């Protein structure tokens, strides 16, 4: 039997993704003692597909019960290790409908991290051709804000999704390591089973590593295990409202062969420019995947599509991110079920039509256009404000908070990291620093 180690801190934070790393960093900067528990390892960076697969749940082949692909990373930094680095402002409806103003926190974060729009010199020939086509169709298309230090970015590198080798891409690992520098204890390969609850108050957590069991006592517990991990922990801790319905922002990519007048350009960074207003439920942008990822998508589509690989250097790629409806559930054992509703499918069709129009306008050969199946990459809304947590992110259990993609009260449809970081800063600023 494994030995049990007892430890204590002011705060225990579960999960080192964008939500957890921010809370741990902000509290450590204030001199609070923090234990940060991360289920995944502190993986090294290899900057290639196998290295990326090691960080992903089930090597990237995780799915919902219905078989829809679902990506999430389990490593220090969570899914931000493999994200595209797009920094989109918090949705305005958070302030309008819920009186949650994340804007001041997002502004501070932009300053601290150095978030800036993609500069002109970073936009490669393919992204530029797509932008020109969108403008010709009167679609507003602009450079995105990015979590990227453009001076350090290699530019002709499509590998943000593998984990950035140059360190140009900011990830939540940066905040987790900063917390450690300020005294936080980061414990990797520590899977939290459940929250300890005594007399209606959270008093710590039970976790397990490959070597030992951990019995951790804390004044405050923050669950930041992500859109799928958090509801499972809450369910195992007796909060039965968690995990009821979720959104996942499905992503589809449409590819087409560039016209002959364009030079080959196999290496361009993803998500540089796009249609960022998603009032119609669609965010659209350029998104070339690295070649092995493109190959995997063609394999998904069937043997007939593999020949597309020969033309990879000529492929223009337009992504469609859909604001899907909240349906399905997450269970205590972390399995999840979700289907696409009729409304989701109609939105996807509209997005695909628009992406094809842009590619045709860019000069792509109509016969070469191919669309990938939807992938779920941003699960959230599983411990919603108004249902599982209040506006200050506290659950009905005193001293038990949630801070990650789970708390969004409505579907997002936008890359959510900047909002999640802002939630983390706000939680410490408006609540935790006053009670600790
Ligand atoms: C391929 C890809 C590209 C993306 N691109 C972008 C982008 O460009 N911009 C953007 O804003 N967003 C992007 N996203 C989404 C973004 O990465 C996620 O929404 C974000 O990381 C969620 O943050 P989080 O804190 O909620 O949870 P996560 O990042 O999921 O972190 C949760 C952490 O908790 C740990 N954990 C889970 N269960 C337990 C447990 N029981 N005990 C201990 N630890 C546990 C996990 O291992 C994980 O490290 C992308 C996602 C993917 C997959």
- Kindly give the distance from the C-alpha atom of residue 80 to the centroid of ligand 1, in angstroms, as a whole number: 6
pLDDT at 368: 94
Q: Best mutation site among 78, 90, 214 for ligand 1, i.e. most ligand atoms within 8 A of its Cβ?
A: 78
Q: Is the dihedral of CA 48, 110, 144, 350 positive or negative?
A: positive
Distance CA 36, CA 19 (A): 12
Q: Average pLDDT by consecutive 10-residue portion of the chain (436 residues)?
A: 96 98 98 98 88 91 91 95 95 96 98 95 92 97 95 82 88 98 98 97 98 98 98 98 97 94 84 93 94 88 87 93 97 96 97 98 95 93 98 98 98 96 98 96
Structure tokens at 391: 């506006």
**What tokens does 1 get?**
């039997």
Cα(325)–Cα(340) distance, integer angstroms: 8
- What gap in Å lies between CA 162 and CA 293, rounded to an integer? 10
What is the 130 CA–ligand 1 centroid distance (Å)? 29
Task: Give the 3-state secondary structure of residue 203.
Answer: strand
| DSSP reduced 3-state for 143 | strand
* Ligand 1 center from residue 220 Cα (angstroms): 22
**Distance of alpha carbon 182 from alpha carbon 3, whole angstroms:** 29
Q: What are phi and psi of 370, to 5 degrees?
A: -140, 145
Which structure tokens are listed for 312?
Answer: 């990879």
| Dist. CA 382 → ligand 1 center (Å) | 14
Cβ-count burial 398-430 (b if 16+ within 10 Å, e if not)? ebbbbbbbbbbbbbbbbbbbbbbbbbbbbbbee
For residue 248, report the distance from its CA to the centre of ligand 1, in Å. 12
What pLDDT, on a 0 to 100 scale, did the predictor assign at position 154? 79
Q: Which is it for the CA torsion 238, 241, 245, 249, positive or negative?
A: negative
Q: Report the pLDDT value the prediction gives residue 200, as an integer from 0 to 100.
A: 94
Q: CB-based contacts of 312: which residues, under 8 Å, 6+ apart? A: 266, 291, 294
Q: Which CA distances in Å does 171 have to 122, 314, 410?
A: 20, 30, 25
The atom number, within ligand 1, closest to the CA of 77 reads 49
The whole-angstrom separation of Cα 265 and Cα 79 is: 28
What is the predicted pLDDT for the residue at 264?
A: 80
Q: Which domains does the chain have, with CATH numbers?
A: 1-115+170-247+327-338+379-436 (3.50.50.60), 118-160+250-322+340-375 (3.30.410)
Q: What is each CA distance from 284 to 122, 134, 142, 268, 306, in whole angstroms?
A: 19, 10, 11, 17, 25
Residues contacting ligand 1 via CB (< 6 Å) = 14-20, 37-40, 71-72, 74-75, 78-80, 82-86, 161, 190-192, 224-227, 229, 233, 271, 377-378, 404-405, 415-417, 420
Residue 237 has what pLDDT? 98
Q: At what angle do helices 103-113 and 417-427 cross, to 10 degrees?
A: 110
Residue nearest to atom 5 of ligand 1 (CA): 83
The full 3-state SS of 263-322, as one line of letters, equals CCCCCCCCCCEEECCCCCCEEEEECCCCHHHHHHHHHHHCHHHHHHHHHHHHEEEEEEEE
Residue nearest to atom 21 of ligand 1 (CA): 79
Strand ranges in 38-177 using DSSP code E only, listed in sequence order:
116-117, 142-143, 145-146
* pLDDT of res. 308: 86
Q: Long-range contacts made by residues 93-97, C-beta under 8 angstroms, separation at least 24?
A: 93/410, 94/409, 94/419, 97/409, 97/410
Q: Do 267 and 156 form a contact (C-beta atoms < 8 A)?
A: yes
Which one, of 46, 48, 70, 45, lies nearest residue 60 by Cα? 70
Cα–Cα distance, 170 to 80 (Å, whole number): 8
Q: Report, in angstroms and rounded to the nearest whole number, the Rg of the chain calculated over CA atoms.
A: 21
């Amino acid at each position: 039997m494994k030995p049990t180690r007892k430890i204590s801190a002011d705060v225990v934070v579960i999960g080192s993704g964008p939500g957890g790393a921010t809370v741990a960093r902000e509290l450590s900067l204030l001199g609070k003692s923090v234990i940060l528990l991360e289920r995944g390892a502190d993986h090294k960076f290899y900057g290639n597909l196998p290295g990326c697969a090691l960080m992903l749940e089930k090597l990237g082949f995780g799915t919902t019960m219905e078989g829809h692909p679902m990506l999430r990373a389990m490593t220090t930094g969570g899914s931000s290790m493999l994200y595209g680095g797009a920094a989109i402002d918090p949705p305005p409806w958070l302030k309008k409908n819920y009186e949650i103003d994340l804007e001041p926190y997002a502004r501070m974060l932009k300053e601290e991290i150095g978030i800036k729009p993609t500069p002109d010199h970073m936009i490669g020939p393919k992204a530029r051709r797509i932008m020109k086509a969108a403008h010709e169709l009167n679609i507003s298309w602009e450079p995105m804000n990015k979590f990227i230090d453009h001076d350090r970015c290699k530019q002709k590198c499509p590998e943000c999704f593998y984990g950035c080798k140059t360190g140009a891409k900011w990830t939540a690992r940066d905040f987790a390591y900063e917390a450690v520098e300020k005294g936080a204890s980061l414990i990797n390969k520590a899977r939290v089973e459940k929250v300890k609850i005594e007399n209606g108050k959270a008093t710590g957590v039970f976790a397990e590593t490959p070597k030992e069991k951990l019995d951790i006592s804390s004044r405050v517990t923050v669950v930041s295990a992500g859109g799928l991990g958090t509801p499972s922990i809450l369910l195992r801790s007796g909060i039965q409202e968690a995990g009821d319905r979720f959104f996942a922002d499905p992503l589809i990519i449409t590819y087409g062969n560039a016209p002959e007048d364009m030079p080959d350009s196999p290496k361009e960074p993803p998500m540089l420019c796009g249609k960022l207003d998603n009032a119609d439920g669609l965010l659209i942008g350029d998104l070339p995947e690295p070649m092995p990822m493109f190959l995997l998508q063609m394999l998904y589509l069937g043997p007939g599509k593999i020949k597309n690989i020969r033309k990879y250097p000529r492929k223009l790629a337009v992504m469609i991110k859909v604001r899907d409806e909240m349906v399905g559930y997450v269970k205590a054992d972390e399995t999840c079920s979700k289907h696409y509703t009729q409304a989701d499918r109609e939105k996807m069709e509209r997005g695909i039509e628009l992406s094809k129009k842009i590619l045709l306008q860019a000069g792509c050969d109509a016969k070469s256009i191919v669309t990938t199946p939807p992938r779920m990459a941003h699960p959230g809304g599983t411990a919603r404000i108004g249902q599982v947590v209040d506006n200050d992110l506290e659950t009905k259990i005193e001293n038990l908070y949630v801070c990650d993609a789970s708390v969004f009260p409505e579907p997002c449809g936008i890359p959510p990291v900047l909002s999640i970081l802002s939630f983390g800063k706000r939680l410490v600023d408006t609540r935790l620093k006053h009670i600790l």
